[in-house]
Chains A and B, each alone.
Chain A
Amino acid sequence: MLQCIFIISNSGEVILEKQLQGHRADRSICNWFWEYAMAQGGELSQLLPVIASPTHYLFQIFREGIIFLACTQVEMPPLMGTEFLCRVADIISDYLGGLNEDLIKDNFVIVYELLDEMVDNGYPLITEPNILREMISPPNIVSKMLSVVTGRSSNVSTTLPVATQSCAPWRKTDIKNSGNEVYVNLVEEIDAIVRSDGNLVKCEIYGEIQVDSNLSGYPDLTLSFANPTILNDVRFHPCIRFRPWELYQLLSFVPPNGQFKLMSYRVKKLKSIPIYVKPQLISSSGSCRMTVLVGTRNDPGKPIDSITIEFHLPSCVTSADFTSNHGTVNILADKRCSWSIGRIPKDKAPSLTGNLVLESGLSSLHVCPVLQAKFKIMGVALSGLQIDRLDVKNMPTQPYKGFRALTRAGEYEVRS
């Protein structure tokens, strides 16, 4: 199993080291890793997630400028390593309110404490955020204030979570909340590929049901959909009972306390996309005229917000200037263009025109940029998934129930 975890900054400095087993992994492995990374071109996000060094097998993930590196010397399920590191990154980021070198350095004691509970002797142990929160409270303003006022500062709760003894490892039995409410949030991401000839090649929705539960005691919830058949594949939080889903497509569960991801799903082969993006490139003798048109294709019924179009100019373009009739265009240092449109105005279709100057010797542009669109639509789940009802049992009073939906662009790309 895992032998050691290192947290490394994007300049190659070891921020933190946590040995997990009696047999220590030497820090020189980080030197090896860094040399390897530099030899691969230094692009940290392009490094293989699993690397074989001469002495160890390395798992690594790269998150916001921080590398999480774990090493092992024995054969093990690869996803156990990768998935665990992802959880570590998520939880640390959650605790510290972000990820960067200074945050980790300022709070390394908490990071050590977390790792101590998350993994023992190389075997992953507790990665459920709610339970970790009960054991180690996050560094928040309230606790900082308290420590200043009372002079006593301990971020470790004095009580152990008893959850491990109940048959629902994600919830302890005697939770008391002042609020009595539960929110269900449908968040969908639409992935689409539109080919240069305008054909929609692929359109898929990846959705999550996020629940924020502030209920006391031991509530039992049942969530039903109006149209569960549209779901192609689903993945569940461990709290969901499988049998009711299999028989009646009902989500029956005892929720963890606080926020959690109840379920994720995939809906494939969608036919309609909310907006169209039409790029056009016309080359003539050393320069290229680019125009992009954006408009609503299938009105989702709610306004489409924060529309942004981004693309990389090919390396053979030496300079470019763009003008648009709506929104602002920025060209960043790495030849990345970003056109922020916002909402589509009622009276006109936003358009972008520009002139690309090509490298000398090139008469026409053969490498075509890929345009990525970003947007979000509040109040709509584009897959059409509808929640029918939410029943709460085992509660003395009916709680407040809130429902929301949101669709945003995931990998929404248009090739030119």
Chain B
Amino acid sequence: MAPPPQFQRSSSPSPSQPSGKSEISDLKLQLRQLAGSRAPGADDAKRELFKKVISHMTVGVDVSSLFSEMVMCSATSDIVLKKMCYLYVGNYAKGNPDLALLTINFLQRDCRDEDPMIRGLALRSLCSLRVTNLVEYLVGPLGSGLKDPNAYVRTVAAMGVLKLYHISASACVDADFPSMLKRLMLNDPDSQVVANCLSSLQEIWSAEANTSEEAAREREALLSKPLVYHLLNRIKEFNEWAQCLILDLISNYIPSDNDEIFDIMNLLEDRLQHANGAVVLGTIKVFLHLTLSMADVHQQVYERIKAPLLTLMSSGSPEQSYAVLSHLHLLVMRAPVLFSSDYKHFYCQYSEPSYVKKLKLEMLTAIANESNTFEIVTELCEYAANVDVSIAREAIRAVGKIALQQFDVNAIVDRLLQFLEMEKDYVTAETLVLVKDLLRKYPQWSHDCIAVVGNISSKNVQEPKAKSALIWMLGEYSQDMPEAPYILENLVDNWDDEHSSEVRLHLLTAVMKCFFKRPPETQNALGAALAAGLADFRQDVHDRALFYYRLLQYDESTAERVVNPPKQAVSVFADTQSSELKDRIFDEFNSLSVIYQKPSYMFTGKEHRGLTDISEELGNLSVEAHPAAEALPAQIYEANDVDLLLSTSEKEEVRGPVNNSSAYRAPDYDSTTAALVSSQVPLEADLSIPGLPAYNPQVSSAIDDLLGLGLSVAPTPAPPPLALNPKAALDPGSFQRKWSQLAISSSQEFCIEPRAVVALATPQTLLRHMQGHHIQCIASGGQPPSFKFFFYAQRAGQPPSFFLVECLVNSSSARAQVKIKADDGAAAGDFSALFQAALSKFGE
């Protein structure tokens, strides 16, 4: 909609633009002429010139070459001129420390001006110069500024101390400014001075606390009872922003007894009525924190804060509503009943931005219970016909989520089935996915659903997720749908038109299921599907086809037990956000964490650092030796094939309802696979499947290794289970050598569990955990959210072969990227599975 950004316009013909160097030198000349002029109109002329210079500066043109001329012109009594000059000087002083010295003189003079406004402005500018070697000129004016009779100047000076601290911490501490601030904070009659002292001291003491014990004590003293009460009693005199600061301070204060808690709450109660949303949220945070240990009062607090929060949400701008809604969402997770009668507040208005609507839909989902489900679902169903397609989709998903919460399922299923009759492609797609999830949880509804689903033509469903869902239902309920085998056959015939591997995988499984239920009708389709699957260039599709093929070869009844095991209804779908994470976020109420729905350690901690720093740091990650733990019990980890298979299938179960066709609860899975492993299956196919391509033993042995099946065709014996040497040793030098010599034999990316993300708060625990699995760490580094680890392991027995691993973990996206290099490339697959299994147990 808009043209590309023009941050540095260079040659555009706007009148305010310099046509190049000539205009700047022109400006320079004019400034020079005016510099000494005392003519009556000089100030106006100067003002026009200054405006031009600053407008150039604003659009990003470098006008630093005018520095000395600007300084020369700054001898004026006109306050606007002064302000413009201060602005200019503040912007360029850092780049011209020598020239900045020129400005010191007139700034210092202005600091002694009789007009307090000029004193204040000059002092502020002086502190904003940010030139380290000018610090000595700063101390004097700051000291007198703190003692100035005018409150405005003291306000500026209190903040100036903090600025000085950031330029030179030692100069600030040596001049004893912190203790002056402290005195001022306790005694100054002006509230803004007090507030600025407080914010300066908070920052200074927190920064100093790492190095000095005294500073740590002082920081504690900011939370002492007398000071907190001093501020609390005067809180109404402070302006709204200062009130936010004070409230933030108090939220960390620990009262000595319950009376104190009630005193504070009584004092602050009217803050809940404040017009400024930040003050209201700050107060709520204090209330929640104070009453954490008193369950009944805590509940009353919830009741008390409800109305202000709802008002805040519905009265402000959409941006404010969004921030408030994020907090409401957090509260609702804690106490869903709290808002269950106020559900109408979360109805979406047509003109709201979609980020607000999405959060409101989440709220509606969260507060649905027996009493309001009917109303909420009725409302959500209206959104399904919304002009905004993304909201329509979200609304349908919300209906599904509510259905899974077990309230009023009967009515909801009816409505979902009505959606299918709307014949809107995206509505159908979303609904199919939901119906599938519902059937997994409530198999008793299959009869009604199947009748409707059977009427949907697969041609009208294009989205992979929806198509997979439809295919899953066709396979699962093929005995109840007369058309199922023929629809599936039709889909198999059009295998090449289907580009999503997810759909192809589901198609394979569905055909298998259907085959066991209605063999004569499906036999052709199964043959064609397996043939197409084996010829597929996608590895996982190929693997699954091969796996089914061999299962069938081995024993049909075993295959049936694997594909169609007796299933239990899913009782709880794995939630993506653990309650532990929610608790952590709750501690950070009224902070940015709430908006991202992540604890702050997942995304902060990179303070005052740029993007380049992070990447550099990762690049320079030095290899340093971690002592290999020798004291660990030497338990031999049997990388049993069965174990591996089970752990992967469990993982899929946890990952949620989407990719579920292979994640069965198979009570006899163990024995089945064990039997498979121990037996040698003759190659001759006793199943007559037409069109199956010739079977290539070379390809399959590698696949066998990957699958860990050990179902070997050629006379070569099954590979021995991979065991790792518990006392592997490798020095950093040889690690680096090996790393550069070997090629990558396996590279993978996968999700890590939320609990692992939590445990990653201290990366050391991961190192210890992996040592438990005989995988040693040789180097690690990184800052949240990106970590990098180098691991190594050694195979037990002869010949000793090493595995080297580079593992990148991103805790904010919860993904891990693993590159494995191995002396013995053939064993890399086994090791990769072992590594993943070990990592997936992290945090348990």
**Chain A residues close to B by CB (< 8 Å):** 1, 10-17, 19, 21-23, 26-27, 30-31, 34, 38, 42-43, 45-50, 52, 54-55, 57, 60-61, 73-80, 82-86, 105, 108-109, 112-113, 116, 120-121, 123-128, 135, 151, 153-156, 158, 160, 164-165, 167, 169, 191, 193, 195-196, 201-202, 204, 206, 232-238, 242, 246, 261, 264, 266, 312, 314-315, 366-370, 372, 411, 413, 415
A286 to B353, CA, bound (A): 31
| Residues of B with C-beta under 8 A to A13 | 5-7, 9, 59
Partner of A233, one of B163, B245, B311: B311
Within 8 A of A (CB), among B569-607: 588, 590-596, 600, 603-604, 606-607
Q: Are B5 and A34 in contact (CB under 8 A)?
A: yes
Chain A residue numbers with a CB within 8 Å of B270 are: 236, 242, 246
Chain A residues positioned under 8 Å from B322 (CB to CB) = 48-50
A43, A233, A312, most chain B CB atoms within 10 A: A233
Determine which of A54, A83, A165 lies in contact with B276 in the assembled complex, contact meaning CB atoms within 8 Å: A83
B387 and A366 within 8 A (CB): no
A78–B323 touching, CB < 8 Å? yes
Asked whether B3 lies within 8 Å of A11 as measured between CB atoms, the reply is yes
Nearest-Cβ distance from residue A115 to partner chain B, whole angstroms: 10
Closest 5 CB pairs of A and B: A12-B5, A242-B270, A49-B319, A124-B241, A79-B278
* Interface assignment of B209: CB less than 8 Å from any CB of chain A: no
Instruction: For the A-B complex with A73-B609, A235-B308 known, give 13 more contacts whose Cβ atoms are closer than 8 Å.
Output: A10-B2, A78-B326, A83-B277, A86-B316, A105-B16, A113-B83, A120-B124, A120-B155, A123-B199, A165-B190, A234-B273, A264-B311, A266-B310
> Among the interface residues A45, A164, A242, A369, which one has the most CB atoms of the partner chain B within 10 A?
A164
Q: A48-B322, A125-B241 are in contact. Are A78 and B590 (CB under 8 A)?
A: yes
Q: Are A126 and B80 in contact (CB under 8 A)?
A: no
Interchain CA distance A123-B195 in the complex, whole Å: 10
B295 interface hit (Cβ, 8 Å)? no
A235 touches B315 (CB 8 A): yes
Interface centre among B44, B269, B385 (most CB of A within 10 A): B385
Tell whether A165 pairs with B151 under 8 Å between CB atoms, given A78-B590, A154-B78, A202-B347.
yes
Best-buried of A60, A74, A246 by chain B (most CB within 10 Å): A74
Q: Are B593 and A75 in contact (CB under 8 A)?
A: yes
* Cβ B350 vs Cβ A411 within 8 A: yes
Which of chain A's residues have a CB closer than 8 A to the CB of B151?
164-165
| Residues of chain B within 8 A of A261, CB atoms compared | 275
Bitwise, B301-336 to A at CB < 8 A (1) or not (0) is 000000110111011111110111010000000000
> Do B80 and A77 have beta carbons less than 8 Å apart?
no
Q: What is the CA–CA distance of A17 and B424 in the complex, to the nearest angstrom?
A: 48
CA distance in complex: A192, B262 (Å): 39
Some 13 contacts from A to B, beta carbons below 8 A apart, are: A12-B5, A14-B7, A22-B166, A27-B60, A78-B326, A79-B281, A112-B87, A123-B159, A135-B117, A158-B115, A242-B269, A266-B311, A366-B422
- Minimal Cβ-Cβ distance residue in B for A157: B117
Does B762 sit within 8 A of A, measured CB to CB? no
B51 within 8 A of A: yes
Residue from the list B240, B281, B311 in contact with A238, Cβ < 8 A? B240
Does B719 reach chain A (CB closer than 8 Å)? no
The closest CB in chain A to the CB of B166 belongs to A22
B contact residues around A127 at 8 Å (CB): 239-241
Pick from B7, B191, B241, B592: contact of A50, CB under 8 Å: B592
- Interchain nearest-CB distance for A406 vs B (Å): 17
CB distance from B97 to the nearest CB of A (A): 14
Q: In the complex, what residues of A have CB within 8 A of residue B40's CB?
A: 151
Query: A160: which B residues are within 8 A, CB to CB?
Result: 116-117, 150, 152
CB-CB under 8 A from B6, the residues of chain A are: 11-13
B7-A30 in contact (CB<8A): yes
| Chain A contacts for B91, CB-based, 8 A | 19
Tell me whether B596 and A80 are in contact (CB under 8 A): no
Do A54 and B611 touch (CB < 8 A)? yes
B54 touches A83 (CB 8 A): no
Q: Could you say which residues of chain A place their CB within 8 Å of the CB of B596?
A: 50, 52
Q: Which of B319-364 contact A (CB under 8 A)?
A: 319-320, 322-324, 326, 344, 347, 349-351, 353-355
Contact A368–B320 (Cβ < 8 Å): no
Pick the contact of B130 from A22, A167, A234, A368 — CB < 8 Å? A22
Using CB atoms, name the residue of chain B closest to A120: B159
Given contacts A124-B241, A242-B273, A366-B422, contact A86 B351 (CB under 8 A): no
Q: Determine whether the beta carbon of B163 is less than 8 Å from that of A164.
A: no
Distance to closest chain B CB from A79 (angstroms): 4
* Alpha-carbon separation in the docked complex, A128 to B280 (Å): 18
Does B282 contact A164, Cβ atoms closer than 8 Å? no
> Given contacts A164-B152, A233-B310, is CB(A123)–CB(B241) below 8 Å?
yes
In the complex, what residues of A have CB within 8 A of residue B241's CB?
A: 80, 84, 123-125, 127
Are A55 and B152 touching (Cβ within 8 A)?
no
Q: Assess the A82–B44 pair: CB atoms within 8 A.
A: no
Residue B4 lies at the interface, judged by CB distance under 8 Å to chain A: yes
B793 within 8 Å of A (CB atoms): no
Q: Using known A-B contacts A160-B152, A315-B387, A367-B424, determine if residue A79 contacts B315 with beta carbons closer than 8 Å.
A: no
Question: Is B192 engaged at the interface, CB distance under 8 Å to the other chain?
Answer: yes
Q: Tell me the bound Cα distance from A10 to B1 in angstroms.
A: 10
Q: Are B307 and A232 in contact (CB under 8 A)?
A: yes
Most buried by A among B191, B347, B353: B353
Given A77-B244, A124-B241, A242-B270, CB of A12 within 8 Å of CB of B4: yes
Among the listed B2, B159, B276, which residue makes an inter-chain contact with A121, where contact means beta carbons less than 8 Å apart? Answer: B159
Residues on B with C-beta less than 8 A from A11 are 2-3, 5-6
CB distance from B45 to the nearest CB of A (A): 12
**Of all chain A residues, which has the CB nearest B276?**
A83
Q: How many angstroms from the CA of A34 to the CA of B2 in the assembled complex?
A: 10
Within 8 A of A (CB), among B155-179: 155-156, 159, 162-163, 166-167
Option from A16, A236, A266 in Cβ contact (under 8 Å) with B58? A16
Query: Does B382 have its Cβ within 8 Å of any Cβ on chain A?
Result: yes
Task: Find the A residue at minimum CB distance from B115.
Answer: A158
Q: Which of A75, A84, A167 contacts B600 (CB 8 A)?
A: A75
Per-position contact with A for B240-255: 1 when CB-CB < 8 Å, else 0?
Answer: 1100110010000000
User: When the two chains form their complex, are residues B592 and A372 in contact, meaning their CB atoms are under 8 A apart?
Assistant: no
In angstroms, how far is the closest chain A Cβ from the Cβ of B416?
16
Contact with A along B81-114 (1 / 0, CB 8 A): 0011001001100000000000000000000000
Which residue of A16, A30, A242 has the most chain B CB atoms within 10 A of its CB atom? Answer: A242
Among residues of A, the one whose C-beta sits closest to the C-beta of B9 is A13
Contacts of A369 in B (CB 8 A): 387
Q: Judge whether B592 and A76 touch: CB under 8 Å.
A: yes
Query: Counting CB contacts under 8 A, is B634 at the interface?
Result: no
A14 to B57, CA, bound (A): 11
Which residues of B are found within 8 Å of A366, using beta-carbon distances? Answer: 385, 422-424, 427
Say yes or no for B608: interface residue by CB 8 A criterion.
Answer: yes
Point out the residue from B5, B79, B350 that lies within 8 Å of A370, measured CB to CB: B350
Asked whether A73 lies within 8 Å of B592 as measured between CB atoms, the reply is: no
Contact residues in A for B611 (Cβ distance below 8 Å): 54-55
Task: Please give, as numbers and ranges, the residues of chain A lying within 8 Å of B590 by CB-CB distance.
Answer: 77-79
Q: Give the docked Cα–Cα distance between A272 and B238 (Å).
A: 42
Query: How far, in whole Å, are A374 and B131 apart by their CA atoms in the complex?
Result: 57
Contact A42 B2 (CB under 8 A): yes
User: Using Cβ atoms and an 8 Å threshold, which residues of chain B touch A48?
Assistant: 322, 355
Distance from B264 Cβ to chain A, minimum over Cβ atoms (Å) = 15
Query: B590: nearest residue on chain A (CB-CB)?
Result: A77
Chain A residues closer than 8 Å to B236, beta-carbon distance: 238
Cα distance, A12 to B276, chains bound together (Å): 30
B633 at the interface (CB under 8 A from A): no
List of A residues within 8 angstroms of B423 by Cβ: 366
The CA-CA distance from A9 to B450 in the complex, in Å, is 54
> A266–B608 contact, CB under 8 A?
no
Report the separation of the CA atoms of residues A123 and B600 in the bound assembly, to the nearest whole angstrom: 21
A206 in contact with B314 (CB, 8 Å): yes
Interface readout for B28-54 with A: 1 if CB under 8 Å, 0 if not?
000000000000110010010001001
